[in-house]
Amino acid sequence: MTQNELLSKLKTIITPYVQNKEALENLTNETDFIKDLEINSANLVDVVLDVEDAFDIEIDNESMEEMLTVAASIKVIEEKLASK
Amino acid sequence: MSKRRVVITGLGVVSPNGMNVSNFTTAIKNGTSGIRFIESLNKLNFSCQVAGYPIYNKEYLNNYFTDIELRGLNASGMEYGVIAGVDAWQHAGLSRNTSNTPLWDVGVIFGTGILGVDKFREAIYKVDDGKVRRLGSTTVTQTMASGISAFLGGMLGCGNIVTTNSSACSTGTEAILMAYNHITNNQAEIILAGSTSDSGPYVWGGFDAMRILPYKYNHSPTAASRPMSASASGFVPGSGAGALVIESLDSAQKRGATIYAEILGGHVNSGGQRNGGSMTAPNSEAVQRCIQKAIESAGIHADDIDAINGHLTATAMDPVEIYNWSTALGRKHEDFPYINSLKGMIGHCLAASGSIESVASVIQLKNDFVFGNSNCDDLHPKIASLINSERVPTKTINFSAKIMAKASFGFGDVNTCIIFKKY
């Protein structure tokens, strides 16, 4: 899976939770889920569960804590996919 | 010192026989039943396989919930309560608070017995399977009792009391009285009051196990719920939600709101599970006292009551309830007020019953009718010996009641009585 494919898949997952739709349009690697996209912090748990389902991976607590930006999330997903 | 006057300015209802105030009004006038045979109860070996539950498409929820709120939503009581609550809000001509400042004088008191049973079941399976980390973020908020008031309080942006009361089948009527008291005490101007009850086998099963539900009507569901009749053989379980916007008269007049009825007063008490009262049966002295104290609180006389919407669940206790009303009011035979029970049409909606039935009471006051009692052609002889049968209309009658009393009684030997007046 290319980085672009991964990014587009991630975007689809987070879209329903995003409150700032404008920031979603301008998604970059640095985009922060809570600060920029205004995702409710409680929903980060649901994002992670959706990621697990979409990529068929399991994300441990430590990795989950890192998943606050687009880049960090992609890094975690790639690592988990690689170790499958 | 005279009390602050309190009125009702909005109604919302999600009932087995009507999904909004307009359909519900037509349904109660026509005696439309919302009780149906439920195949899943048959498969699960229930004795009573009939029940009342609201019917709507899942798409209907899009009018009330955002996509994100709907994700993983598996709490029927939450759906019913939000629909009824938001409808009542709009019915009152109020809009959602879109500012960043909470409405400090506006609150929510929305009761329930148990919330999100199906969500809880889902969670139990995951937890037992070692998958607690897969529960998601809304298991708590869908299964905490106060989930319903919390949800409504957030949607509307309320900054006053936001709470959930719970007193079994007395819950809904109690919520209205709590709102009334809060406003008369100058603590708030507007309170969305109501109650909701989940549907389904996990809520109803415990009652089936107690053998207090009728089991001979699985092939004739609409005949199953028979309040006050000689052939009453248990209550039919129901579900849904009712909501009322309770508001100070000052506030209502200031914003030119339509007023559907006035609340004159009420009372809540318990029989202490003494003197005939128990966890499941009422102490008659307490019931009579509750009615009398409500009348006193309302500043009226027993003779002023034109109609009663009873608790009357269709168990062997109905004649006792009539005896208690008759004794409390000091009125019998042809002198007794008109009395009816909504449970003949929709069953016993448990925690939601008091609010749905209060909505029905206000609709009757506003629209000058008393709905007919379903399945009561054979009035119980003990009731007929206390009051005239024409006081228990079996068909809807045109009648302009000025004052209506509504009471609800619940497990734990708890009682609520409230006095509504035509405005």
pLDDT (0 to 100) of residue A3: 84
Q: Into how many domains does chain A fold? A: 1
Q: Into how many domains does chain B fold? A: 2
Domain boundary (B208, B233, B261) is at: B261
**CB proximity A81 to B under 8 Å:** no
Mean pLDDT estimate for chain B: 97
What would the DSSP string read from start to end of B45-79? T-S--EEE-----GGGGGGTS-HHHHTT---HHHH
B70 lies in the same domain as B218: yes
The Cα-based distances of A33 to A50, B66, B80, B337 in angstroms read 15, 19, 32, 63
B72 vs chain A: nearest CA distance in angstroms? 10
Residue B2 lies in a domain: no
B154 lies in the same domain as B287: no
Give the tens place of pLDDT for each residue, B46-96.
999 999 999 999 999 999 999 889 999 999 999 999 999 999 999 999 999
How far, in whole angstroms, is CA B362 from its chain's centroid? 12
B323 lies in the same domain as B198: no
B249 lies in the same domain as B189: yes
Q: Which of A43, A47, A56 to mutate to test the interface with B (most CBs of B within 10 A)?
A: A43
Residue B320 lies in a domain: yes
Measure the CA angle with vertex B139, ends B175 and B236; round to 5°: 50
Backbone angles phi, psi at B234, to 5 degrees: 135, 165
Domain boundary (B210, B238, B261) is at: B261
pLDDT (0 to 100) of residue A2: 85
B237 lies in the same domain as B297: no
Q: What is the dihedral of CA B339, B345, B350, B354, to 10 degrees?
A: -40
Residue B108's pLDDT band, with cuts at 50, 70 and 90, is very high
Handedness of CA B394, B396, B399, B402 (dihedral sign): positive
Give the tens place of pLDDT for each residue, A30-81.
999 999 999 999 999 999 999 999 999 999 999 999 999 999 999 999 999 9
Q: Which of A40, A52, A47 is nearest to B141 (CA)?
A: A40
Question: Is pLDDT at A11 greater than 80 in this prediction?
Answer: yes
Question: Is pLDDT at B201 greater than 60 in this prediction?
Answer: yes
The Cα-based distances of B144 to B23, B72, B139, B154, B163 in angstroms read 31, 15, 8, 15, 11
B403 lies in the same domain as B358: yes
Give the tens place of pLDDT for each residue, B183-194.
999 999 999 999
Looking up residue B346, the CATH number of its domain turns out to be 3.40.47.10
Domain interval for residue A11:
3-82
What's the rounded mean pLDDT across residues B8-18? 98
**CB proximity A65 to B under 8 Å:** no
Looking up residue A22, the CATH number of its domain turns out to be 1.10.1200.10
Residue B106: strand, helix, or coil: strand
B195 lies in the same domain as B100: yes
Domain boundary (B261, B287, B319) is at: B261
Residue B1 lies in a domain: no
Task: Give per-residue burial for B46-74: e unless 16+ CB within 10 Å, then b.
Answer: bebbbbbbbeeeeeeeeebbeebbebbbb
Neighbours of B29 (CB within 10 A): 15
Domain interval for residue B207:
7-261
Residue B164 lies in a domain: yes
B197 lies in the same domain as B273: no
Residues of chain A with C-beta less than 8 angstroms from the C-beta of B69: none
Residue B3's pLDDT band, with cuts at 50, 70 and 90, is confident
**CB proximity A82 to B under 8 Å:** no
B225 lies in the same domain as B287: no
B272 lies in the same domain as B233: no
B255 lies in the same domain as B274: no
Question: Is pLDDT at A1 greater than 90 in this prediction?
Answer: no
B404 lies in the same domain as B294: yes
Residues of chain B with C-beta less than 8 angstroms from the C-beta of A17: 68
Q: Are strands B50-52 and B35-37 parallel, antiparallel or unpaired?
A: antiparallel
**CB proximity B130 to A under 8 Å:** no
What's the rounded mean pLDDT across residues B20-35? 98
What would the DSSP string read from start to end of B157-221? TB-S-EE---BTBTHHHHHHHHHHHHHHTTS-SEEEEEEEE--SHHHHHHHHHTT-S--S-TT-G
- Which residues are within 8 A (CB) of B23 and not within 5 positions of it... i.e. 6 or more apart? none
Cβ–Cβ gap A17/B137 under 8 Å? no
Question: Is pLDDT at B1 greater than 90 in this prediction?
Answer: no
Helix, strand, coil percent values for chain B (each to nearest 5): 40, 20, 40
pLDDT (0 to 100) of residue B79: 98
Give the tens place of pLDDT for each residue, B274-333.
999 999 999 999 999 999 999 999 999 999 999 999 999 999 999 999 999 999 999 999
**CB proximity A20 to B under 8 Å:** no
